Each structure stands twice: as C-alpha cells, then as structure tokens.
Structure 1
C-alpha cells in the first residue's frame, strides 16, 4: 500500500485497506459477541404471603422449591392423552397438593358434652352446682381455723381418663367438685362427696388439654390446648361459650381473681408472649412481650394487682396488671426453668417447681426476692411439669414425683414429712382440697386420679 514520507495513506486508498488473514482472525475473536445462550440459572418459586399458612399462596420463604424445568415444546412431539369419563372423575376428586410448610390444619373441633351421673337434678330440682349441706363439713365461709395434716390412706380412685392427667382444679371455695384435664383431649367433672361419680365430660379440643381454670364462682372455666385454642365453658350445661386463639399454643391460662376484672384472663403462650383477653368481647386487649422463651407459669399476687410469670428462658418477671412492662426481672446463673407455681394461701410467697429437682420460694411483694431459707428437696421432677400445692393452712407443701410418689414437707422447717407411693408412673398433678384437713388428689401419666386422706 503506497504511503507518503510521513506514513499516511493517501485519500484515494482509504476504502481499500487490506488486513492480513492472521490479523483478521485475531480481530474477529475479540470483537465477535457471544451468541444468545439461554440462561441455565434456576429460579425459585414465589415465597408466598407470610399471613397465609395453607394453600397455593401460603408462605414458604427460604424453603421455596426450585421451579421445574419445562421441556422445549419444539423438540418434543405433543402427545394427546385420552381419558375415559371415570378417570376424569377420579382426577377431579383428587385434593390439590399441599404447597405450604406442612403444618396440620387443626381446626376448632366440635364441642360436645355428656352427663354421666345417676341423676341430673335432685328432688328439689337442683344440679350438682349446689353446694351440699348434709356433710357435716363447712363448705362456705372462713376457714382460717383449719389445721391440716398429711394424708396416709387411699379412699377413692377415678379411672376415667385414657391418657395422662395434665391438670386438676377443685371447685372454688367449696371444693365439692373436681375438674380434670387430660392428654386424651377431654375435660371431666367428678363428684367429690356422696357417690364420687363422674358427672360430666367436655369434648371439643382436638389435642391434649394443657391447663384449666375456674372463674371466681365456678360457673365457668377456661381450657387451653395444644390445638392452639382457648375455650370458655359453662360448668353446669357443658356449653362452649367462646373460643380464643392467637395461632400459637397456650401453655398456662388464668382468670383474673379480682371481682372487678373477672371477665379478663391472661394466657402464657409458646411464642414467648403473655396475652390478655376479654371474655365479653372476645378480643385481645393487652400483650406482655418480654420473655425469651415459652411461658410456663402465671401467678397473681398483691391483692391481684400484679402477677408473676416464669419461662423456659430461666427467668422470673413481675408485672403490674394491664401494664406491658415488667416491674421486676430476675435471671441468675444458678436458676433453672420453673414449670409450676402455687401461691401461699396466707403469706406473701409463691412456691415454684424448679427443673433441678427442688421447690424454690419467692416473695410476692415489692422486691420479689428469693427466700433462700425456703428450699424443698428430696424429690425428682426433672423433665416433667410436676405440680406443687399448699395445704389450706399453708403449713404443708405437697408435690408429685417422677418415681410415682406424692411428697410432703413442713413449711417452717423445710423437712420432708412423708412420702406416699401413689403410682408406678410419674405423678404430675397434685391438688389439696380447700376445705378438708388432709384430703389430696393426685393424677399420674396413666390417667388415674387418686383421692387420699
């Protein structure tokens, strides 16, 4: 190619530039763009709506599956499949696949009740709610003169539940009826005096019942279950009046004992919260959210103006009623989860069943300190939610035991008084009769309830 003395190409040759074959190939490799190759990166399905648990739009989050690769229609021949009418009906009847996280849709359960007693009304038309006056025992009024003793013999056995007894409650004040909850999803009411028969069963929960609690006059009671439902029942008729739920499992439930607030109750939940409901409106009116683990116990104190809560987070918190900020927080390295509680009937103390095989006592006044002189040992409770109970005069502490015992201590000296072999399986529920000097009921993992005197 001709050039001038300075190496420039003359104007006439500008359109006839010739490049060698090797230079052209090198230039072609650098300039040529990559052909359009379809992306091989897989995509995930839609994460879904966090407020929906079931169905096509349910929340899957980081567990969303990979989208299935669809075959190229151009590379495969379309095959037309013919179905007969019967086959089409079978396909239409098949339920849609469950696309959510696999949680079971538990539902409410249908509430039913059945009366099992010999007669529903006496000769005057009164039901079992009437407090008997033919016993020679004062079932009403002041019982401050009561002197209690340790029971020694078995006087009755109820074998009605099919699975472990989870909680038992005597009828408020009089104690002439006994209400029991069980892992067989049933709640049952027994007559404590006269024939000592099963009076009524309450069905409606679809999973184990965790806790039960009477209101002040015993006309209603609450139940909490692993089916995530809390239900309000009529004690006399067995009708379910209301249902309450937050979508989480309630572990413990308590009516407010104050007559001015008897329409309110609190529940300790598995999601670390304590929720407060109004039975009149059915709405949640308050939430106490400071615990770091599932809530195990709720205990009212200080004339029902405050309550104490314990949790699996190995802490104790004290609250003013209706104020969602704790006024006291106790969490020390030596503490274990406290799984059951009982207020002292005549003093400002609360006893807690600790998971390290001992019963510890805390003051229920301003400082909420642990009373280190009051520690009750000698039983085994680790791994179970074993009840603790006080005698009506507050002088005897009772507890169940994983070895099948019911154990009694003296409140003043903390010495063990007596041990009764109540079962061959763990005794998890214990309750002391509010009007008797030495009558105690125990419930075990076989569903057997025993009455001691």
Structure 2
C-alpha cells in the first residue's frame, strides 16, 4: 500500500509543486472550446414561412447570420426580393391622400350611369404657358400624367399630390412639343416636336438619355406593343420610321409618297400598324389611311377610307378586331381589323365637332366606351356596342383635342390652354386634353 501510495502520489505532488493542472484544468479548457449548441431564439421563428420544413442545417445558418450581424437585427422583418422604384421627391406617391391612393391601387367599378348631365373638372393642374398638344397616363405609375405643350416643355404631373402636383418640367426641346409617350419600361418619356427630333428622358433622374434626329418635324411617336426597344415616328414630310433605342438608329423605313403624318397606331399583336396622313394637297384620298405590315414594310391596303376627309386620329380597339378613325366629317368611323379592312357603313359615332382641329379619341381599358374630344370644348362618351351617346361633359370653352383614358380608374383628365384637369365621368375613367384655339 505504501508503494502504491508513493507511486500515485509522486506525480500529483510534482504537479502541485510546478503549479500546473493537467487533469481537471485541461478538461475545463476543452469543454470551453467546444461550440455550444444553441437553439434559435423564438424571435427567429416568425421569419420562416409557416407550413415549410426547415432543416437543422438551415436553422444553424440562420442563427449564425443573426449572431454575426452587428447591432440588433430585425428578425421579424421578412426579406423582400421585389425591386422597388426609387423614391423621388415629387414623383413619389407618399403624399397622395389615402383614399385616392386606395382607388389607384384597387380598381373600383363605378355604377354605369347613362344620364347625359354635364360635369366639371374635379382636379385642375396649371403649369403650361401655351396650348397642350398631347397627354398620356403612365401605366406603371398610375398617379403620374405626362403632357406636351406648345411652350416647348413636357410636364410630369403627380395628379393627386397634396404638395407638388407638377413633379417634373422637362425643357430639352428647342421648339414646341407635339407628342409624348411613356415607355413601357417605366419612368422614361419619349417626346417629339418641331425641333425635328425625338427625345428619350429618364424622369426619375431628369436626364436626357437619347436623341433621335430626323429631317422633318416629328408629329407623332408610338411604342411597339411587344418590343419596348422599338418605336414608330411620323412627321411633316410623310416619312414613317421604326427606331431601335438600343442602337439609336432607324431599323426600318416605310416609303410611300404621303402627306404629313397625322397619327400612327400599332395593332395589339404588333404585326401591323395604321398611318393617317393629310391628303388635302394631293387629292389622293385613298392614301389617307393605310394599313402596313411591320416586318415586310409594305402596305396591306391603301383604300381603307376613300372619303374626302382627313383623319387626325386612329385607334385600335383593345379586344375586338376593329379600329376607329376620327374624321374631319365630324364623326368617328369604324373599320374591320382584318383584310380588306372594310368600313362599317351602318354604324358610326357622331354628335361632336372636329372642325379642322386635331381632335383625338380613345377607348376605355375594357373597350366598352369610346371617348372623343370636340371643337366645342366638351368631351363626348359613346357606347361602343350601340354607338349611343352616353354623356357630354363640358369642361372649358376651348377646343378639346385629346382624350386619354386612365388605365385603372373611371375618371377623365382634360387640358385647356396650358391647364390640365381631371374629370369624373361616371361612365368610365378617362383623361382628356384641351387646347385653346387652333394649332
């Protein structure tokens, strides 16, 4: 026993003398070095979608991310993968009243009323110093409206804003602006005018991105419905050009001796487009409306409308295979959308006045209502099915030269002598533009 006590006692005494602890101390060091298995705190669990199995490896990864982040992490906030639009002062919808914003985001179906009572603008936007030539609502930002005026400016309106309704004033054109269109991509505007060019402007940054120069006054531009990189332009010399924004060059040109181009319109499938030109000088009425093949660059028919009137506006129906043309004969004619594009001689929309003004028309999003401006300063809304006049809305004493329906709403927006207004029609949602005097 003494020998055993001496054998086991000697190393212990030596360790005590040297002041080292090999046994118990080493065990404590190893246990502290082991990674502690910590279950995710309860606050992490709301981050996971309910009904989805989460493996141990994924739970450990989430716990490691939470512990490695500096400061306090918002665990209850889900990670968003959607791309948000940059918030820009004036363009943002943050200061729009809640009731208006709710209507913009959720389409409200109004009860269709067929009374023909007159209505006044509910919102009036002042900013243009001269007549307004074109107006269009943004389809990606429903609270924004663009207008082009004779004062060489393009205005972007935050229509329901409580503080800054005129969000942007773009002054890149050196002459009067004839037309303006929102890019299908979002916050970009394409405008054209008397300075013989079309200009693409980033509304978000307020920077001009591209300039497309031509040898003619550009009267109208229109984006291709399927390819946002392509747009069609028509001008005073009768030239029709299809531009590619990626290269900045003309992709195709449609050659035919025509008068000044008044309007162009793509078919919904993008295979055809319609051009309307002024034939008063050539007396060639068969060329007033031409249906073109986009890819083959040839006219499919040039005897669509043979009456001795020019047509300042052409519009395809959003769903039906037909299109309409605003005639200087003080009516809107209807044509078949299929060859040979026959005129419907038994149905037309009449009651308004054109009287030489470039009066335009437009369909509602559902195609049930056709809106038209008028030289008497009123807006006329017709039933597409019956051609019946649903309502006449008196806005201003000046000529109403454009109508543009708001995509989700049932209201209308007029412009008059540099003034923009919003009308509630009670039949459908539209935006109208008014001009003081002639062009």
TM-score by length of 1: 0.67
Describe the superposition over 1:253-284 as per-residue Cα deviations: whole angstroms up to 9, x where unpaired: 111121xx211111012111101111111111
Task: Sort the Cα spacing of 1:198 and 1:329 in 2 relative to 1 into closer, same or farther, 3 A.
Answer: same
Contact 2:104/2:409 (<8 A) preserved? no
Alignment of 1:276-287 (within 5 A): 276-287=242-253
Alignment counterpart, residue 359 of structure 1, candidates 332, 344, 353: 332
1:379 aligned residue = 352
3-state SS in 2 of match to 1:212: strand
Deviation of the 1:129 alpha carbon: 5.8
Describe the superposition over 1:208-233 as per-residue Cα deviations: whole angstroms up to 9, x where unpaired: 11111112132222111111111111
Alignment of 1:94-133 (within 5 A): 126-127=87-88
Contact 1:250/1:269 (<8 A) preserved? yes
How far apart are the structure 2 equivalents of 1:181 and 1:272?
22
Q: CA RMSD in A?
A: 2.4
Task: Sort the Cα spacing of 1:160 and 1:302 in 2 relative to 1 into closer, same or farther, 3 A.
Answer: closer
Task: Sort the Cα spacing of 1:146 and 1:418 in 2 relative to 1 into closer, same or farther, 3 A.
Answer: closer
Describe the superposition over 1:136-193 as per-residue Cα deviations: whole angstroms up to 9, x where unpaired: 23648xx798876678342110111011110000001552210000001100011123
How far apart are the structure 2 equivalents of 1:234 and 1:190?
15
Contact 1:148/1:393 (<8 A) preserved? no
How far apart are the structure 2 equivalents of 1:373 and 1:436?
31
1:402 aligned residue = 375
Contact 1:263/1:278 (<8 A) preserved? yes
Contact 2:268/2:318 (<8 A) preserved? no
How far apart are the structure 1 equivalents of 2:176 and 2:113?
34
Describe the superposition over 1:68-109 as per-residue Cα deviations: whole angstroms up to 9, x where unpaired: xxxxxxxxxxxxxxxxxxxxxxxxxxxxxxxxxxxxxxxxxx
2:314 aligned residue = 341
Alignment counterpart, residue 451 of structure 1, candidates 418, 422, 436: 422
2:20 aligned residue = none
Describe the superposition over 1:225-245 as per-residue Cα deviations: whole angstroms up to 9, x where unpaired: 111111111121121111112
3-state SS in 1 of match to 2:205: coil
Task: Sort the Cα spacing of 1:268 and 1:449 in 2 relative to 1 into closer, same or farther, 3 A.
Answer: same
Contact 1:146/1:393 (<8 A) preserved? no
Query: Is 1:232 the counterpart of 2:193 in the alignment?
Result: no
Deviation of the 1:435 alpha carbon: 0.6
Contact 1:148/1:392 (<8 A) preserved? no
2:43 aligned residue = none
Alignment of 1:62-211 (within 5 A): 126-127=87-88, 135-137=101-103, 139=105, 152-195=119-162, 197-211=165-179
How far apart are the structure 2 equivalents of 1:333 and 1:212?
30
The answer for unaligned runs of 5 or more in structure 2 is 1-84, 280-284, 425-439
How far apart are the structure 1 equivalents of 2:86 and 2:318?
35
How far apart are the structure 1 equivalents of 2:265 and 2:111?
25
Contact 2:121/2:413 (<8 A) preserved? no
How far apart are the structure 1 equivalents of 2:138 and 2:305?
37
Task: Sort the Cα spacing of 1:312 and 1:159 in 2 relative to 1 into closer, same or farther, 3 A.
Answer: same
Contact 1:147/1:393 (<8 A) preserved? no
Contact 2:216/2:237 (<8 A) preserved? yes
3-state SS in 2 of match to 1:184: coil
3-state SS in 1 of match to 2:370: strand
3-state SS in 2 of match to 1:154: coil
Task: Sort the Cα spacing of 1:241 and 1:149 in 2 relative to 1 into closer, same or farther, 3 A.
Answer: farther
How far apart are the structure 2 equivalents of 1:320 and 1:203?
35
The answer for unaligned runs of 5 or more in structure 1 is 1-123
Deviation of the 1:334 alpha carbon: 2.0
3-state SS in 2 of match to 1:137: helix
2:412 aligned residue = 440
Query: Is 1:251 the counterpart of 2:219 in the alignment?
Result: yes
How far apart are the structure 2 equivalents of 1:304 and 1:248?
25
Contact 1:269/1:275 (<8 A) preserved? no
Contact 1:148/1:391 (<8 A) preserved? no
Contact 2:104/2:142 (<8 A) preserved? no
Alignment counterpart, residue 266 of structure 1, candidates 232, 240, 243: 232
How far apart are the structure 2 equivalents of 1:173 and 1:374?
35
3-state SS in 2 of match to 1:180: strand
Contact 1:174/1:434 (<8 A) preserved? no
Q: Number of aligned residue pairs: give it.
A: 324
